Structure 1
């Protein structure tokens, strides 16, 4: 009488890549970079994307648990969406990269060359020296910087940088005066603010311009 075949050994689950010895993987994070406007343009919403991913996860792994958080950043912060998300949600690798860049930036402060537009500290350095911009001049430059490569007309600048309660609401002509004053303080780097004849003004990135931004962690959840 033949004996029954021995049961096959249970398959060993493959070890998750990049998990050090002595630790175990307990889940994962998927960073999704898309803002509300892009989601609407795609015919969806952030909430619908989250719910679809939750349904797929429940289908593939019914025992899994999920948690979703919204990544917040200053309005108009620019940059790649997924990079902003990783920083806002405190991704260790992204934070380490940011620290490296900040250390490099500190070195640039000590041995500067070119223009540093520091949005987080509301300052501009020209070859290591403060440009001495007024609050409104910095706001004007920041508005253009955060919309890099787009021509901004004078009406948009007035509507977004001057409130109805301000003592003086500029006209299109006085906007030109504000821009001239800003450019004069940028000295030999004044060409970073370009005049687009008949249209408005634009900031274009230059090799000698460094921009520093801040991100804000989000406490919001779906």
Structure 2
């Protein structure tokens, strides 16, 4: 699924609109201003902040309807801008293995690691399958690293760093890109310098032990992940993707 195809926009994009229906007495009644979901449906200490709409459709099915994925996203955003101008939106592409079976929307939910969808499938996954093998297993879906069958004690930031390099296998990543991507939302004072990145990489390599050279230094530029024959990557039900609309 290429970024170019997803970002194409036709001259006149369709705009989704609500289909008018005959109003009922309930619909005509004014809703209370402070209406909110019943507390019994919310975990304690939480409050609704938005929603996720999972859309199951591939490019071929969209084209058969005379649209594209990019056009659908644009139409939804236009409609939302009319209904709730202050709403912020974010859209990402769901990448799934070719030939993944099941309903389109279920494939999308798994690809985007929607918690309840993942929970329903975990019972079918062999927990100790990867422990039977040597080498390094980088398990993206479960956020863990196994080294010669044993779970490595990676910190959250160390795993994020390794994952960022793994998902961009073979490409040299500059230190400035690592800082900007892995420390988003922090203030300038909290943002680490390039020397801090070097410290994180040294600790990461130390925990990789004899497999430390899978994270290579490109002198004067940054770092690169090089996969060896004894390194396996587990993506789970979908491949995490940085692609955005």
SS at match of 1:173: helix
- Within-5 A mapping of 1:176-195: 176-195=198-217
Determine the structure 2 residue equivalent to 1:38.
Answer: 4
Q: How much has 1:84 moved relative to structure 2? A: 5.5
**TM-score (norm: length of structure 1):** 0.56
Task: Verify the 8 A CA contact 1:76 1:147 in the aligned structure 2.
Answer: no
- Within-5 A mapping of 1:7-156: 34-35=1-2, 37-40=3-6, 43=8, 50-54=61-65, 83=97, 86=100, 89=104, 103=126, 106-109=128-131, 111-156=132-177
Q: Distance in 2 between matches of 1:47 and 1:86?
A: 12
1:206 aligns with 2:172: no
Q: How much has 1:76 moved relative to structure 2? A: 9.1
Unaligned ranges ≥5, structure 2:
11-56, 67-71, 74-91, 108-120, 239-245
Q: Distance in 2 between matches of 1:155 and 1:76?
A: 25
1:169 aligns with 2:135: no
**TM-score (norm: length of structure 2):** 0.51
CA distance 1:208–1:193, shift in 2 (3 Å) = same
Unaligned ranges ≥5, structure 1:
1-33, 56-68, 92-97, 217-222
When Rg is computed on C-alpha atoms for both structures, the one with the higher figure is 1
Q: Distance in 1 between matches of 2:141 and 2:220?
A: 32
